[in-house]
Structure 1
């Protein structure tokens, strides 16, 4: 199976006509696209389950919650899914967003809980060697450019030395791997295979962070 061009056309049209009247008129088209895409998302999950333990799949709604937003457009012109890993010892999650013009694949730790973020920073402060090894891993470099994306502090986090040699990592508020695709790449027959290869390249990253978040600084298990 592969993504179809009509999915992109619908998202582009919705982006230009982001109102309830237009969507109501074209809802039968959306329902059919939604069905097609769900089958592809299920195939993604089946591929993931061949090499990872997946807890659940979440398909994001196209309807926006506008109650507390200045932007009152009612729809989000995207088709998105995430997969969470199974068990307390398996950390990290997978994400895919199809949007007008292409797609974004992501994985990692977008907004870690306060305690988790402090634990990660403490590990980096003590020894960042394994984190640097991830960033230099050939597959991680190939698919994700050898960097962690995510918001950063302007200075050192409270309690950490601003002159620390790994301050670039300590300033991170999240640790995310991102890869983007063009529309042509999404429509290609091997797109699902390319997604899965990218997800596999995240495993050393996930394994390290899972180990850190389930142990203390002495390496003793917390679970």
Structure 2
């Protein structure tokens, strides 16, 4: 169960994003990190009940949880810390180039997500080919009742090509999906839910609805 103290730490960090404050509140951070880690461990076990690839990967919380320190080397924003906790669940952990599930905890924006964000060139080609060859199957996945219930907005359309990629025609029935450069879905989590005892079940229900989508993506990448 997510503790209210964990959210409060993130709220306070957002207002005091500097190393002296963080060092002075390190014990509070460690408690919040532990709480989130316990949630991640429980989610890993839960996903493993329906996704064999996660079960076989024997992941631990540290394999999935992102560091709170920001990489500021190439960023105009020099705040040293992220103000959220995030975890990515895929067969290779958070650093894998494969489709997976994502949990984001932020006092102002919590959400579930899944898929693969901005895949590398060769993987992108494979995904586009898989969608082109199996458009009917992919369309059925996206219109499945459980999928639409959990992710009513469908695929995120944050990155796409204006013109058809090389080798595809505008008349292709799958062209609007083939134009995408990122293949993720997401859904906001109501703030009332995140502190409830059944929050883990809510997360797992969302991720379970993603399974056919994740499997389709990884089948393409692994081909």
Considering the TM-score relative to the shorter chain, is it more than 0.5? yes
- Which among 145, 151, 162 is matched to residue 154 of structure 1? 162
Deviates further, 192-201 or 100-109: 100-109
- Check whether the contact 2:6–2:35 (CA below 8 A) recurs between aligned residues: no
Cα separation, partners in 2 of 1:30 and 1:139, compared to 1, 3 Å: same
In structure 1, the residue corresponding to 2:90 is in which secondary structure?
Answer: strand
CA distance in 1, matches of 2:109, 2:170: 39
- Considering only CA atoms, is the larger Rg found in Structure 1 or Structure 2? 1
- Check whether the contact 2:155–2:184 (CA below 8 A) recurs between aligned residues: yes
Deviations 1:43-75 (A, max 9, x none): 111111222232233211111111111110111
In structure 2, the residue corresponding to 1:207 is in which secondary structure?
Answer: helix
Instruction: Measure how far apart 1:146 and its partner are.
Output: 5.5
Larger strand proportion of the pair: 1
Q: Structure 2: 5+ residue runs without aligned partners? A: 93-97
Instruction: Measure how far apart 1:21 and its partner are.
Output: 1.6
CA distance in 2, matches of 1:156, 1:186: 41
CA distance in 2, matches of 1:210, 1:122: 13
For residue 132 of structure 2, what is the aligned residue in structure 1?
A: 125
Instruction: Measure how far apart 1:126 and its partner are.
Output: 3.7
In structure 2, the residue corresponding to 1:202 is in which secondary structure?
Answer: helix
TM normalised by structure 1 equals 0.87
Q: Is residue 12 from structure 1 mapped to residue 11 from structure 2 by the alignment?
A: yes
Cα separation, partners in 2 of 1:162 and 1:37, compared to 1, 3 Å: same
CA distance in 1, matches of 2:222, 2:19: 46
Q: Is residue 77 from structure 1 mapped to residue 83 from structure 2 by the alignment?
A: yes
Cα separation, partners in 2 of 1:102 and 1:132, compared to 1, 3 Å: same
- The number of aligned residues is 211
Q: Is residue 200 from structure 1 mapped to residue 208 from structure 2 by the alignment?
A: yes
In structure 1, the residue corresponding to 2:194 is in which secondary structure?
Answer: helix
Q: Is residue 144 from structure 1 mapped to residue 166 from structure 2 by the alignment?
A: no
Q: Structure 1: 5+ residue runs without aligned partners? A: 216-223
